[in-house]
């Protein structure tokens, strides 16, 4: 049955599902404080081609949209973390409530911009992890490592690190909780939740990415049955 766009979901009906649609529209259909934790890696507005989204808004349009997204995430989730673009780090910092930054670094030389060799990415996280957690994560996996990247690659221009995603979920969530990724992409957070015993809800507008994510989930479930 097709729902009215603003009709709220029953959270049980969308748990462990990927919602195909616009992020802001779908967020507005999720009930207040029905999500234990949200983690998302938003588009960086640097002109990447996401198929249905060209990632090329004006600066003001982009920041306004991100404020709307973050405000909805605050409404639907108990707590959340963001994998923000460095160039907009200050704006995202202001959007967070009680926050802390984790520096994710690596030893191989990453991408070079204007003679700076990039060797870290920031994470904005809650100020109170659930276990002892360092705020400097060393030798993380990120797609910009090129030859040194050891995670499976998929057809996505901004693939989120599985390594970082699992570290975030391990530090800030517990088994059985429900995790939201409102920019689900190819399903990295969904698979991380599967591996760590969490429930997931994903939102993604690109059906090609949703097909990849659902295929990954199906293949993971098949592997579980084998063992």
Give per-residue pLDDT as tens, 129-151.
999 999 999 988 887 767 666 75
Q: Which domain holds residue 105?
A: 11-218
* DSSP element (H, E) containing 147: none
Domain assignment of residue 224, yes or no: no
Evaluate whether 43 touches 184 at the Cβ level (below 8 Å).
no
C-alpha separations of 77 from 105, 134, 180, 182, 208 in Å: 28, 24, 8, 11, 27
Domain assignment of residue 18, yes or no: yes
Domain assignment of residue 35, yes or no: yes
Q: How many domains does the chain have?
A: 1
Contacts 24+ apart (CB under 8 A), 207-212: 207/20, 208/51, 208/155, 209/51, 209/156, 209/184, 209/185, 210/18, 210/20, 210/184, 212/154, 212/155, 212/156, 212/186, 212/187
pTM here?
A: 0.90
Report pLDDT for 147: 66
Domain assignment of residue 94, yes or no: yes
Domain assignment of residue 205, yes or no: yes
Reported as a single tens digit per residue, the pLDDT across 165-195 is 999 999 999 999 999 999 999 999 999 999 9
High-pLDDT (> 70) share of the chain, %? 89
Domain assignment of residue 149, yes or no: yes
Report d(CA 127, CA 121) in Å as an integer.
18
Q: What is the CATH number of the domain that holds 180?
A: 3.40.50.150
Domain assignment of residue 6, yes or no: no
Domain assignment of residue 150, yes or no: yes
In the predicted structure, residue 2 carries a pLDDT above the cut 60: no
φ, ψ at 113 (rounded to 5°): -130, 120
């Amino acid at each position: 049955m097709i729902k009215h766009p603003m009709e709220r979901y029953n959270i049980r009906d969308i748990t462990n599902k990927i919602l195909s649609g616009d992020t802001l529209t779908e967020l507005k259909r999720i009930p207040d404080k029905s999500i234990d934790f949200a983690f998302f890696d938003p588009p960086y507005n640097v002109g990447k081609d996401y198929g249905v989204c060209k990632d090329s808004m004006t600066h003001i349009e982009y920041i306004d949209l991100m404020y709307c997204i973050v405000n909805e995430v605050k409404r639907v989730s108990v707590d959340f973390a963001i994998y923000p673009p460095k160039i907009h780090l200050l704006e995202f910092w202001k959007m967070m409530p009680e926050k802390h930054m984790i520096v994710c670094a690596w030893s191989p030389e990453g991408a070079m911009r204007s003679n700076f060799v990039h060797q870290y990415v920031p994470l904005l996280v809650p100020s109170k992890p659930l276990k002892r957690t360092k705020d400097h994560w060393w030798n993380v996996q990120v797609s910009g490592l090129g030859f040194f990247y050891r995670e499976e690659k998929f057809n996505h221009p901004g693939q989120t690190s599985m390594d970082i995603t699992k570290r975030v979920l391990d530090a800030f969530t517990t088994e059985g909780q429900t995790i939201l990724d409102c920019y689900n992409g190819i399903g990295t957070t969904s698979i991380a939740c599967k591996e760590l015993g969490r429930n997931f809800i994903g939102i993604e507008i690109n059906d090609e990415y949703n097909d990849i994510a659902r295929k990954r989930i199906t293949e993971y479930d098949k592997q579980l049955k084998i063992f």
